[in-house]
Homo-oligomer: A and B are copies of this chain.
Amino acid sequence: MVSLTPRAERLLKALIGQYISEGQPVGSRTLVKQAGLEFSPATVRNIMSDLEELGLIRSPHTSAGRVPTERGYRFFVNTLLAVKSPKTLDVASIEDRFLADQDPQQLIESMSGLLSQVTKLAGIVRVPRRADAGFLQLDFLALSPTRVLVILVTQDGQVLNRVIHPKRSYSASELQQAANVFNGAYAGLSLDDVRRSLVEALRRDSEDMQQILRSAVEMAHQVFAGEAMSEAPLFVSGESNLLAFPELSNTEKLRRLFEAFTVKQDLLHLLDQSMVSQGVQIFIGAESGYEALESCSVVTAPYEVDGQIVGTVGVVGPTRMSYDRVISVVDVTARLLSGALSHGVPS
């Protein structure tokens, strides 16, 4: 890690701050005026020259000012950024969202909208993978002689349902009994394990299985094999906020970016990375490793249920974003979400 003189640090910080708020290359004169520095433009130029050698800033061309490089941003967030305690206004508007009593699932999904509204950037949220959730119970509900509603509930309160058309019709009590037997047999496993067991059970096709359990397994399998189970667990909101940034108005870049929002693959990988460790993580520009995100930064923070990291919330915006504010917003959102999820949702 580079180390700078205090003066150079101060300068860099002022420059990045100015560039973030204005979006224009910053010249020595402007910087002196704007930051109220007590030395002259010429001195500033010398220091800038040093910073440029270190790769922290660069000039778009000879007679423009300087703009931060990705490395500059990185240095900035690593060492210069006093993580601001979030504006009370922001916290209040975030907390408001948690007052509404909601399903955990819905609450989590709504976080992307919340983040995009507060930051005016794109909000993203990675929800817990369904397949990893613990199996709580299954129920069969007869809708009509040919249609049965299968309801799958996980330990963390997610609910999945699907209407199936069983081979023969079942009475309500048969269904009840099937559910009971099934729940007894698969209690405590993860959904993924249950799915595997079901496939196994069907493959063996053993005659020794209770008739009623066999029916339950067949019906349940239709739910566990369904695509709802493997759906990409990623939500994005407020993409259109990004249209406001001139540095992203390059049509081709924009296309790539929106493509990434649609395909979700890359973002998902990125969010998976951020789930391995705690606290806010920041991917600046090319650091994410995905071309589509090259002039963007991603700020993420994982959230937990009862101490276990289960997902991530975050924000995507141009590299020129208010890192201090965004970081604190993402951080507090993740914390509040963890809190709301961990001690249940009070009504």
Contacts and interface: CB of A to CB of B under 8 A. Distances in A.
Interface stretch (A156-164, A185-193, A277-285): A156-164
Contact of A244 (B149, B227, B244, B255): B255
A137 B143 contact: yes
Interface residues of A, number: 42
A259 B239 CA distance: 10
B143 A141 contact: no
A208 to B, nearest CB: 27
A153 B200 CA distance: 32
Interface in A192-213: none
A347 B149 contact: no
Given A143-B153, A159-B149, A159-B161, A106 B240 contact: no
A162 B158 CA distance: 9
Contacts of A153: 141, 143, 149
A162 B261 CA distance: 29
A258 interface: yes
Provide the main secondary structure of the chain A interface: mixed
B347 A164 contact: yes
A238 interface: yes
A99 interface: no
A120 interface: no
A163 B159 CA distance: 9
25 contacts: A103-B162, A106-B228, A137-B141, A139-B139, A139-B141, A141-B151, A141-B153, A143-B153, A146-B344, A149-B153, A149-B159, A151-B151, A151-B161, A157-B163, A159-B161, A159-B163, A161-B161, A164-B347, A165-B344, A165-B345, A222-B347, A238-B262, A239-B239, A243-B258, A249-B251
